[in-house]
A and B are shown apart, each in its own frame.
Chain A
């Protein structure tokens, strides 16, 4: 068990729906990340939060909106997604100091219909 949990584990949503993915880390880390993992593509870094401030937004479409209310929780709000957004969404955390070893959650398998 990595100490990073994600809910839900599976999500099917229509293109007009609004949903949110939740991530929680119990490791006392200061940095949290959202990644997208599609078939036959490398892990894509979407957002990085360090000490609750967003430090990276890799040209992610505005239909994805992150929120980090505190250092233990991270959300990804989804709105009017496209079928090509179907993927595994992984949350990760790291201490952000000296060692940047990342601990990943189990992911949310998202299907957009």
Chain B
């Protein structure tokens, strides 16, 4: 499967600051998914990006897929304590196979 690198591994921000996590691949991705896992919880699907250069927004979250479909980012504007958790990107290989990045653990300091 394709290896997806995710950075940073950890991020501490003051409440109200912005946050960004990046996924990078050495090969072209067919599509990319983003998930959030709260502490003690399970991954929850956020969004899927398919098209080159695609940008999608969900309230304070902005998701981007690179023009070359080799990278993706998730940006959170004005973080809140409810944003705490680990954010994963996942690359879909052929069919039903998914390969997850290492995740970025976000801590929001009130």
Contact A101 B96 (CB under 8 A): no
Contact B99 A106 (CB under 8 A): no
Q: Which residues of B contact A45 (CB under 8 A)?
A: 1, 97-100
A contact residues, total (Cβ < 8 Å)? 25
Contact A56 B96 (CB under 8 A): yes
Contact B92 A100 (CB under 8 A): yes
CB within 8 Å of A: which residues of B? 1, 33, 35, 41-45, 48, 88, 90, 92, 95-103
Listed A/B pairs (8) with beta-carbon separation below 8 Å:
A33-B96, A42-B102, A43-B90, A43-B100, A50-B96, A94-B96, A102-B35, A104-B43
Q: Which residues of B contact A104 (CB under 8 A)?
A: 42-44
Smallest CB-CB separation from A48: which chain B residue? B96
CB within 8 Å of B: which residues of A? 2, 31, 33, 41-43, 45, 48, 50, 55-56, 58, 90, 92, 94, 96, 99-107
Given the contacts A43-B88, A48-B97, A50-B96, A105 and B42 also touching, CB distance less than 8 Å? yes
Smallest CB-CB separation from B88: which chain A residue? A43
